[in-house]
Chains A and B, each alone.
Chain A
Amino acid sequence: MYGSGKLSTNAKRQATGFLFVLPAFLIFLIFLIYPIGFTFYLSFTKWMGFKFSEIKFVGLTNFVNLFQDRIFWRALKNTIIYVGATTLFLNILGLSFALIIDSKVRGSRVCKVIYFLPVVMCPVVIGIMWSRLLDPFGFVNQLLGRVGLERLTHPWLGEAKYALFAVVLATVWQWMAYDMVIYYAGLQDIPVELHEVASLDGASYWQRLRYVTLPLLRPVTTVIVLLNLIGGIKVFDIIFVMTGGGPNYHSEVLSTYLYSQGFTYNFMGYASAIGVIIVLLSFATAYFRLRVSYEAV
C-alpha cells in the first residue's frame, strides 16, 4: 500500500520535472536543432530561397564548388588567422593583466573597472569607432604624423596586408578585460598557502608562476580558450562593419561570406554549405579542445 502510494507520487513528480523542462526543450528543438538539420539538408541542394517546390537536390555539388572556390579558401584562411590571433593575444594580455591586478598594486581596482568598459559596448559601435580611428584621416594616422612617423601612416583598412590585422586589433581591444576578469577569478581560487610554501622553499616569482599558478589555472585556461575560439569562429559584426570583408576579400571570413552568398545573391544551398562548415568547425574545435584538456589532467 505505502509502497505503491510513494511510487505514484514519485511518478507524478517525474512527470512534473519533465513538464518543467518541456517549454525550454521545445523552443530549443524548433529554433536551433531543426534549423541546423535543415541547414545540412539545404547544403545538398540548389535553391534561390523562394518556393519549397523549387528546391533541387544536387548531391555534393555545393561542397565540390566550395573546395574549388578561391574566395572560400581565403575566407577559411582568414577565419583561422583571426581566431588564432585573437585567442593568442587575448589570453596573453588577459592573463598578464590579471596577474598585475592580482598583485594589488596601487590603482589596480580602478583599472579593472576602466578596462572592462569596452566589453559592455556593442561590437558594431566598436567597429564603427575603429574604422574612424584607422581611417586614412583618422586618429592613428594623426597620432603618427604628430610624433614624426608620417612614413608609417597607412590607409589601414584599405590595404590587403593590414585589414585583417586591424580587425584583430579592434577585437582584442574590446575583449581583453573579459579574459582578464575570468583569469583574475581563477587566481582568487588558488590557495595562498601554496604560494607561501613555495616561497619558503626559495621559489622565485617566475618559478611560482611556472610551477604553481599556471598548472592550477589550467581548467580556467581551457574554458577561456574555448570561449575565444568559438567566439572567433562565428565572428561577423565587427568585420562586416569595419571592412565588409574587403579589400578584395582580404578580411572575408566564413560568416561574412555566408551572408553575402545567402542574402545578397540568394544562393541558399551554397550559403548552407558554408553554414555546415562553420558548424563543423565549432563542434570540432570544442571537441578537440575539451579532449586535449581532459587528457592533460
Chain B
Amino acid sequence: MLGENRDIKAGILVFILILYSVITLLPIIWVISLSLRSEREVFKVFLFPSSLHPENYIRALKEFRLLTLFKNSIIFTVGSVIPTLFFGALAAYAFAKIRFPFSNLIFFIILLGIMIPTGGVLVPLFVFMRNIGLYNSYPSLMLPYIAFGLPLAIFILRAFFVTLPTELIEAARIDGCTELGIFLRIMLPISRSALIAVAILVSITNWNEFLLALVFLGKESLQTLPVGIAAFCGQYVAPWQIIAAGVILATIPAFLGYVALQNQFIKGMAAGALKR
C-alpha cells in the first residue's frame, strides 16, 4: 500500500519533470525547425517541414555578417575577461592575505559596485569615451566591462583565497619569495578552479551584454553578436527562416561550451550567489 503510494508520487514528479523539459526544449526545437524551412512553408508548417533547407544557414552567415560579429565578440570578451581575472585576483589576494590600512573599507566600497546598474553610468561613460576619442573603438567597451566584472570577481576570489592556509605564504616568504612571486607562482596556480568559475561567469556576461555595446559602437564593423543580431532582426523585411538560422548559429558556441563543461558552467554561473 505504502509502496504503491510512493510509486504514484514518483510518477507525478517524473511527469512534471518531463512536462517542463518539453516547455524548455519545444521553443528551441521550433526555432530549429523554422530555420530549416523553405520560404513558402514558414507560416504553414507547425514542426515538420516537407523538405529541409540547410542553405538557410549559409544565407544567415552572410546576411548577419556572423563571422565579423563572432570575431568582435571574441575580441571584446577575451580582451575584458583576462584583465578582469588578473587585476581581480591580484586585489582579491591582497584583500584576503595582506591586510593594510583601510583594506576592509576599500573592499566594501568595491563590493557596492555589484549593485550598480548599467543605466546609472551610461550617459557619462558615453560622453567620456567620446571626449577621449575612444567612441567606436575596442577599449570603449572593454574598459567598462572590466570595471563591471571586477567587483564580482574580487568578491568570489577573495572568498576563495581566505580559505587557503596562511602557512603556505609564510613559508614562501621565509624562502625569500617576493609578494608578487608568491601571487604569480603559488596563488594563481592553486586557484585554478575558482579562476575558471569566474572566467565562465564574466565571459558569459560580457558575451551577452547588450546596452553598452549598443550605445558605444556606432560602426557596423565593430558590432558584437547581440547588437548585430538585434539590428538584423529589427528590419521588417528580414525573413523568418534566416533569422532563425542566424539565432541558432549565434547560440552554438555557448551551447558547445555548456555541453563540454556542464558542471563548471553551472558552478560558474551560480558562483556569485554560492559560497562554494
Please report A residues at the B interface, Cβ cutoff 8 Å: 13-18, 20-21, 23-25, 27-28, 30-32, 34-36, 38-39, 42, 49, 52, 97, 100-101, 103, 105-108, 111-125, 127-130, 132-133, 137, 139, 142-143, 146, 173, 178, 181-182, 185, 220, 223-224, 227, 230, 233-234, 236-237, 240-241, 254-255, 258-259, 262-263, 268, 271-272, 274-276, 278-279, 282-283, 286
Q: How far is the CB of A221 from chain B (nearest CB, A)?
A: 11
B179 contacts the other chain (Cβ, under 8 Å)?
A: yes
**Residues on B with beta carbons closer than 8 Å to the beta carbon of A115:** 20-21, 24
Q: How far is the CB of A5 from chain B (nearest CB, A)?
A: 14
| A97 CB, min distance to chain B CBs, angstroms | 7
Given contacts A15-B100, A173-B23, A282-B115, contact A20 B273 (CB under 8 A): no
Q: Which of A27, A30, A130, A233 has the most CB of B within 10 A?
A: A27
Q: List 5 A-B contacts (CB under 8 A).
A: A25-B91, A116-B258, A117-B25, A139-B27, A234-B118
Assess whether A278 is in contact with B120, with CB atoms less than 8 Å apart: yes
* Interface status of B76 (Cβ within 8 A of chain A): no
A101 / chain B contacts, CB cutoff of 8 Å: 17
Residues of chain B contacted by A286 (CB below 8 angstroms): 115
B210 and A255 within 8 A (CB): no
Interface string of B20-43 (1 = CB under 8 A from A): 110111011011001000000001
Residues of B close to A258: CB separation below 8 A: 119, 122
Q: Is the interface of A mostly helix, strand, loop or mixed?
A: helix
Q: Are B124 and A39 in contact (CB under 8 A)?
A: yes
Chain B residue with minimal CB distance to A224?
Answer: B273
- Give Cα A14–Cα B100 distance, bound, in whole angstroms: 5
B90 adjacent to chain A (CB < 8 Å):
yes
Interface of B is mostly: helix
Q: Is the CB of A279 within 8 A of B117?
A: yes
Q: Is the CB of B93 within 8 A of A20?
A: yes
CB contacts (< 8 Å) of B34 on chain A: these are: 132
B14 to A105, Cβ gap below 8 A?
Answer: yes
